[in-house]
Amino acid sequence: MVKKVIYPGTFDPITLGHLDLIKRAVTIFDTLIVAVASNPHKNPLFSLKERIDMLKEVTKDIHNIEIDSFDGLLMEYAKDKKCNIVLRGIRAIADFEYEFQMALSNRKLAPEIETIFMMPSEHYSYLSSKIIKEMASLGADLSGFVPPIVEKKLKEKLFKNK
């Protein structure tokens, strides 16, 4: 049975923690769809196109992956993609509480779609895009946190007028 999974997120920007989950998920599932949420309510630093381009660049050597975007309800997107599994990353207890609520809400909307949780490697369990953006804005070396292309794009975006 061919199994595909959707890994949704804002990916603003993609971190080594996200990449860790991606690399591990492609060894478990036949197809991984990384679905970038447009989510303008989060006021992303990068445009949807920039986030998709960065994801495509850092995953270019992975063959069973599709980078896509969606706007609206994840469950409707999953149905459109004919996918019945959603992958979510959990770093800490705070993530679990939020993700648990979302999974139960999504189950109510679409009981045929399962949510699977994966923890990132312990090396990345503390990383979040929010922390990365804050560190970048203060000029930190991000080489242990994001792929090189992402660090370059962050610095370009944050320091373009300086």
The structural domains of the chain, ordered by start, are: 4-125 (3.40.50.620)
Note the pLDDT of residue 123.
82
Whole-angstrom distance, CA of residue 69 vs CA of residue 136: 25
Give the Cα separation of 4 and 34 in Å (integer).
Answer: 11
Q: Which of 69, 88, 129, 153 is catalytic?
A: 129
Choice among 4, 24, 79, 91 that is catalytic: 91
Residue 152 has pLDDT above 90, yes or no: yes
Mean pLDDT value of segment 46-57: 97
42 is catalytic: yes
Least confident segment among 1-5, 25-29, 96-100, 158-162: 158-162
* Cα 87 to Cα 5: distance, rounded to the nearest angstrom: 6
More confident residue, 127 or 137: 137
List the structure tokens of 54: 């960065």
pLDDT digits (tens, 9 = 90+) for 60-100: 999 999 999 999 999 999 999 999 999 999 987 778 888 99
Q: What is the largest CA-CA distance in the chain?
A: 54
Active site residue: 18, 51, 88, 133, which one?
A: 18
pLDDT at 162 over 60: no
Residue 2 has pLDDT above 80, yes or no: no
Q: Cα 16 to chain center, whole Å?
A: 10
63 is catalytic: no
Angstrom distance (rounded) from CA 136 to CA 66: 28
pLDDT for 93:
76
